[in-house]
Amino acid sequence: MHKYLPHTSLDIEEMLKVIGVNHLDDLFTNIPSNLRFNREYNIENQLSDIDVTKRLHQLSKENTVLNIFRGYGAYDVYTPSVIKSLTSRQEFITSYTPYQPEVSQGTLQYIFEFQSMICEITGMDVTNASMYDGPTATAEAMFMALAHSKSKKIVYSETMHPRIIEVLKTYGHFRDVEFVALKEKNGVTDLSVLDESLTNAAAVIFQNPNRYGNIENLNGVSDIAKAKQSLFILNACPRSLAILKTPGELGADIACGELQTLGVPLSYGGAYVGYLAAKNHLLRKMPGRICGVTTDVDGKRAFVLTLQAREQHIRRAKANSNICSNQSLMALSVAIYLSWVGKYGYQDLAKYSLNAANYLKKSLLATGLFSEAFSSPHFNEFTLTSNVDPVKFDSYLIEKGYLGPYAVGDNKFVFAVTEKKSKKEIDEFVKVVGEFKWCTMIN
């Protein structure tokens, strides 16, 4: 008996005929050929389990481990060992959506705790558990605004991460959303035309810190948005909220973003976890699930699902979102991390990253290869300008064992520092960077 039911050649032939293609490879024609694996796997056939394991371990030793000074959306952060120890337990890793509260109290409780922590971090009234990642969380926030106002106009800042903007436009394409961009000026959003741009707009969306690592001055944005009957959406880095004004303090209606910086490893791009929080008046526009606490018939504390605005529970056309699968395993990871670091540890980690970034920035400027790109304050990520060739510079650093800054064009390079970088590691990196000038002169 097979552990799964494989398709026979006849099954595959009939399915291909129904969808109108001749070969399985035809299903992947949209993937560029240079991105495909077009050769045989370097693993012998008919190996025993022991031999396959040995072979894979041998191959893994060929990987190059780089010291990372790059962020731009994904960051090399510390993951406490307690997270993997707990999240890998089978009662967590195999759990699905907790529809039956009588057998799901553990899952419901950690979701409730996650929600409580996110609300405290963001200063918002309510949050769900959870979203797949920061960009899609921003897109869901946009949908909330569209449903709230019935307008199809969204204003956004060009200083947001390009991938977030792409996701917004992808999600909005078949809803005929009109996108209006606020231009950047000196590395931050030009707010001079905000009032005019918000005419008949459902919402305005900002990211803080922005794509350059710069901190946006968003004081007063809430008042302008309210006067125009538009919502204020803020994609905020959760780590930065330990020292910056929260979305709640800035008057945001919806807060969203990526929680990967809270102990989630890079993992070759995922799985990550987003958050979506809002003020109470938008509660019923939120997608996903919201957990609450109550008492049972015996007067004991009990956790329950209080809101499930999904197509399974209401008419499909009325659903706020079709987000379905249980993403709460990643929410559990974040909840464990926040419990582990504690309130003061959370602040200390943010301060360390800020100070380390300033130290790295000052040290890089001293090499003579870089100059200030902007005058705005930053958090743990910053942008410098340089005339170095970005391709050669990147290749040089990789050869030396580093993943260096992200080149964003116009001779601008974005560096990032996390709590994993010691002063010694920063000094060693700066020394290698400084030697690049002499290497190019010799070559």
**pLDDT of 236-291, one tens digit each?**
999 999 999 999 999 999 999 999 999 999 998 888 999 999 999 999 888 878 89
Band (pLDDT 50/70/90 cuts) for residue 39 is confident
**CB count, 10 Å around CB of 340?**
14
What angle separates helix 423-442 from helix 328-366, to the nearest 10 degrees? 60
* Cis bond upstream, residue 130 (ω within 30): yes
342 Rama class: left (phi>0) / alpha (psi -120 to 50) / beta = left
Look at residue 187 and tell me whether its pLDDT is greater than 80: yes
What is the length of the chain?
443
Q: What is the mean pLDDT of residues 361-375?
A: 96
Of 74, 33, 18, nearest to 272 by C-alpha is 74
Cα 168 to its chain centre, rounded Å, is 14
**Contact assessment for residue 259 and residue 238, using Cβ atoms and an 8 Å cutoff:** yes
Look at residue 231 and tell me whether its pLDDT is greater than 80: yes
Look at residue 317 and tell me whether its pLDDT is greater than 70: no
E strand map for 120-186:
126-127, 153-157, 178-182, 184-185
**CB count, 10 Å around CB of 223?**
11
Band (pLDDT 50/70/90 cuts) for residue 442 is very low
Q: What is the mean pLDDT of residues 397-417?
A: 97
Give the H or E element holding residue 173: helix 162-173
Q: What is the mean pLDDT of residues 50-70?
A: 91
What pLDDT sits at residue 299? Answer: 93
What pLDDT sits at residue 319? Answer: 66
Band (pLDDT 50/70/90 cuts) for residue 310 is low
Look at residue 14 and tell me whether its pLDDT is greater than 60: yes
Q: Which one-letter DSSP state was computed for residue 214? A: B
* 403 residue type, one letter: L
What pLDDT sits at residue 4? Answer: 65
* CB contact set of 408 (below 8 Å; sequence gap of 6+): 72, 211, 212, 383, 414
What pLDDT sits at residue 2? Answer: 58
Which range has the worst mean pLDDT, 44-53, 213-222, 301-310? 301-310
- Domain positions in the chain are 67-76+342-435, 81-337
Which range has the worst mean pLDDT, 57-66, 217-226, 378-387? 57-66
What pLDDT sits at residue 303? Answer: 93
What pLDDT sits at residue 270? Answer: 86
Q: What is the mean pLDDT of residues 134-157?
A: 95
Q: Is 197 helix (H, G, I), strand (E, B) or coil?
A: helix
Query: Which position has the higher pLDDT, 140 or 37?
Result: 140
Band (pLDDT 50/70/90 cuts) for residue 339 is very high
What pLDDT sits at residue 326? Answer: 56
Give the Å distances, CA to CA, from 339 to 262, 296, 347.
11, 27, 13
Q: What is the mean pLDDT of residues 325-342?
A: 88
Tell me how far apart the terminal alpha carbons of the chain are, to the nearest angstrom. Answer: 64
The pTM (predicted TM-score) of the whole model is 0.88
**CB count, 10 Å around CB of 341?**
19
67-76+342-435: CATH architecture:
Alpha-Beta Complex (3.90)
User: Which string of DSSP letters, residue by residue, matches 389-429?
Assistant: -HHHHHHHHHHTTEE-PEEEETTEEEEE--TT--HHHHHHH
**Which of 3.40.640.10, 3.40.1350.10, 3.40.50.720, 1.10.132.20 would CATH assign to domain 81-337?**
3.40.640.10
Look at the block and give the residue holding tokens 């109290």: 105
**Contact assessment for residue 259 and residue 337, using Cβ atoms and an 8 Å cutoff:** no
Look at residue 441 and tell me whether its pLDDT is greater than 50: no
